[in-house]
Amino acid sequence: MADLSPKGRRGQSGRQVVRDPEGARKALLSSAIRLFERNGYAATSVQSIIDGANLTKGAFYHHFKSKEDLLFHVHDRFIDHQLHRAREVVADTELPADEKLRRLIVEALLEPMAMYKPEITVFLQERRFLSGETFVEIKEKREAFERCFVDVVETGMQEGVFREVGLPHIVAFGIIGMGAWTHVWLDAESPASPTEIGRVYAEIVVNGLR
């Protein structure tokens, strides 16, 4: 007897006919991230993503306009979390600039690696395949995230908490770059967690700027 549960049933092709749209979307994203990370964006077809999620082509195009659109949403999965955490830290008026920078490095830059390392890895490796039009919205979110770091560094310099070692945006980009590219060597066998790594980075950066 066919599966008529709320989650779905099998179609004539044997593929899942989904009654759980959010579950289907997550399955397609998970399949894409796994294949992009393993094979690369260019070598991954829409059909292979569909096959990996055990869904239909109709399900794919219900949720995503194209493979490029899917890569766009891979980026959203982690940048929305990072931007939310960064804004929370910056909005805390009780924190001095040095403590804000510590928390930005740990909570907004490194800790997301524990949850979104595959997504971060895929985006940094494959972003060259995003067209200019698609990249505009991504750029807006990334600039908002960067601005949180720039503002804290700039405020710290103005208040005399940090030395004026260079332009605030150059200092901020250096910090973000150091954290973002941790994905290259961070794996299950790493001797420290993303939180612990973030604390090390924060110690180096904050003490270096004082």
pLDDT of residue 141: 95
CATH value at residue 38: 1.10.10.60
Residues of the chain with pLDDT under 70: 1-19
Structural domain that includes position 39: 8-63
Q: Is residue 26 part of a domain?
A: yes
pLDDT in tens, 121-139: 999 999 999 988 888 889 9
Q: How many domains does the chain have?
A: 2
pLDDT of residue 188: 78
How many Å apart are CA 101 and CA 46, to the nearest integer?
41
pLDDT of residue 159: 96
> CB count, 10 Å around CB of 193?
14
pLDDT in tens, 177-202: 999 999 999 987 888 999 999 999 99
pLDDT of residue 142: 95
Q: Is residue 57 part of a domain?
A: yes
* pLDDT mean across residues, the chain: 90
Q: Are 55 and 92 found together in one domain?
A: no
pLDDT of residue 19: 64
Q: Helices (H), strands (E): how many in the chain?
A: 9, 2
Q: 150 is written with which tokens?
A: 């720039």
Q: Are 122 and 19 found together in one domain?
A: no
Q: Are 84 and 179 found together in one domain?
A: yes
pLDDT of residue 12: 43
Q: Are 134 and 97 found together in one domain?
A: yes
